[in-house]
Amino acid sequence: MPVDAPLYPVSLVVEGRRVLVVGRGTVADGKVKQLAACGALVDVVAPDEYRPGHLEGYRLVITAAEDPTVNRTVHDDAEAAGVWVNSADDPANCSFTLPAVARRGPVTVAVSTGGQSPALATWLRRKFEAELGPEYEILAELLATERAAIRAGGGSTEGLDWQSALDSGMLDLIRAGQVQEARERLQACLSSS
């Protein structure tokens, strides 16, 4: 995979989609858990059981094999089948990389080094995770609720000054337990834009 161009970040909807994990052990188990938590339909095959044609019907494949020959075989099969592939700790056999992810409810912070340094991505994820307290989940809910109310009333959410609302101290109000005041501040900021 090594490329000179920057990678295009994306969050995939894997819910209800078939994903294959080729591997065994803790790395493979971790990938399976992350995919399952996102609703993917995950199948697992041991590296020594993988055969060409295994990718039929899959949207995504992740290898967690310690054998670079298996990673290369899966990569080549995936490329031929038009299936996106990630090979854990083997960027040469990837068509995408996996970022380190911190989650708080609907808020997701993903950190990537383009496969250059998973250790740095993990270190940065831990730093962001420590900052991402429960108040961010409440803030996201307030914003989503207000956005839905505006749309339900026939209004457009485009062109509203959401950034000024976010810079208005709403997060501090939420941290202080003043959620209703944060909601009112949000509405005031949006109505004046």
Check residue 88 and give its pLDDT: 87
Give tens-digit pLDDT for 6-42.
888 899 999 999 999 999 999 999 999 999 999 999 9
pLDDT band of 5, cuts 50, 70, 90: confident
Check residue 117 and give its pLDDT: 87
| Mean pLDDT value across residues 148-153 | 94
The helix/strand/coil state of 100 is strand
Check residue 116 and give its pLDDT: 83
- Identify any residues that bridge with 61 across adjacent strands, giving them in sequence order: 20, 85
**CB neighbours (10 Å) of residue 93?**
23
Reading phi first (left if > 0) and then psi (alpha if -120 to 50, else beta), residue 185 is in: alpha
If residue 142 lies in a helix (H) or strand (E), which one and from where to where?
helix 134-152
